Structure 1
């Protein structure tokens, strides 16, 4: 990919752009976004640009005050796409594949949550583990948007039969086997990624439909809005952002992102604590 020739300032980009922003590690740290990021999104939208959240999280764990900042969202890493009140996509695991996934995870004794736009489905034991992980807000993000782990706690549901639930993606923790091995056991339809929230835990991860990617959501939204892909911006920090960054007209990554992501990007900015999204918007002339 040819690097961006120079930082852009002062509205030098074409009149209307569509911006897709990852949440964890990009827009927010530990589930809380700095107020400077929220303000940057409001200002960009006021300037005529369309801004969407593009996250691996399901819509059910996106806080209402976060969701209302944006024109819509690409959630569950591309499985759920909403622009305004229009839901363009809501793709779930096929029923038998979902049941097989649950049975294999339970057979290995894995703690997991089935992610759907309406809720997180898990066992009572996993729900208790999620509740135990709720801590105090991170320093330096006072007054930010989002409630950190509390958003996850509030979405948790404990149905009697997990295998009958409809879901789009799976998050898991404390797996005794590699996440990639779990995906192989479930079947070729399923891919594996490191967990975008708990990156420091090598036993954590995400299982997703292999055919689904954030890039699909980006393309679908751009088509729905009649915006050329050259007028799209993708901002992310993890491997589930790679397709989005590659597909976008301008790719932006966070310092410290994996090498493959950095190679695909046009611009690098700091993380949420240093207001990287604001810096990106300023350099790209979106404000």
Structure 2
């Protein structure tokens, strides 16, 4: 950046799966871009549908903070700004609906990924997908999910922020409709099939909540925020941000919300975005 151009501090919010990372692993170029942007004086936060429990420690330490569980849990530095869970009665109704359909699912909280024994066993079957990170990469892929699992028979008693459903005999939208309008449904990245997989979340919670709350706490205007994402759960923050960046190949509605389009993790799109915005 030219010395004649006044410094403009920004807060960037990066989606994880499909944006920053591929299959749960961050390429070295993205790690270096995040560190360089922070060294230049910008705030960089992870903004993911994942709960904090499945964000590896070496990934979390890259950032100034994290918006996890798609906006339900927000941390800036060591300060917790938000922790929203399903109310107890709604949580019980949701678990009962999933059990009635024989779904395989996990209840997501920042402290653990809660599973029934049969759902945990189904996840364990995917252990063969794990590979060792290469030099400079961060995150352990599916191993980060497996390491967060806590098994319990009492899922109706668990406190959680969101649910990942990766196998059900009916569509995720139908399950959400049975539970009620307080719960929304979206596609997710921990899936075994198309129609019967996705995320169940509190309809009132969105990644955009984290963007606005963190920007306010940092004393930045919305025009100084940047959101980068590729999925349906990124739409809120893309539409809320001062500058929205979508990943090439995203759904049409995601691309339509973007001011810029960059490649995915294999093409080091976060580097491209930060360079275009003068953040490096």
Give TM-score scaled by structure 2 length: 0.95
Task: Indicate the residue corresponding to 1:68 in structure 2.
Answer: 61
Q: Relative to structure 2, which stretch is displaced further, 53-62 or 197-206?
A: 197-206
For structure 1, list consecutive stretches of 5 or more residues without a partner in the other structure.
1-8
How many pairs were matched up?
Answer: 278
> What are the superposed Cα offsets for residues 127-170 of structure 1, whole Å, 9 maximum, x if unpaired?
1211221214399x654110000000000001231100000000
> What are the superposed Cα offsets for residues 220-260 of structure 1, whole Å, 9 maximum, x if unpaired?
11111111000000000001000100100000010011111
Matched, 1:94 2:87: yes
Matched, 1:152 2:145: yes
Task: Indicate the residue corresponding to 2:181 in structure 1.
Answer: 188
Conservation of the 8 A alpha-carbon contact between 2:165 and 2:191: no
Q: Residue 131 of structure 2: which of 129, 137, 151 is its match? A: 137
Pick closer, same or farther for the CA change 1:13–1:72 going to 2, 3 Å.
farther
Instruction: Tell me the distance in 1 between the aligned counterparts of 2:277 and 2:267.
Output: 17
Return structure 1 stretches of 4+ with deviation > 6 angstroms.
Answer: none
> 1:201 Cα shift?
3.3
- SS of the residue 2:66 aligns to: strand
Task: Indicate the residue corresponding to 1:5 in structure 2.
Answer: none
Task: Indicate the residue corresponding to 1:207 in structure 2.
Answer: 200
Give TM-score scaled by structure 1 length: 0.93
Matched, 1:103 2:80: no
Conservation of the 8 A alpha-carbon contact between 1:30 and 1:138: no
Q: Relative to structure 2, which stretch is displaced further, 210-219 or 200-209?
A: 200-209
Q: Which has the higher contact order (CA 8 A, sep 6+)?
A: 1
Pick closer, same or farther for the CA change 1:124–1:43 going to 2, 3 Å.
same
> 1:10 Cα shift?
5.6
For structure 2, list consecutive stretches of 5 or more residues without a partner in the other structure.
none
Matched, 1:273 2:243: no
> 1:125 Cα shift?
1.3
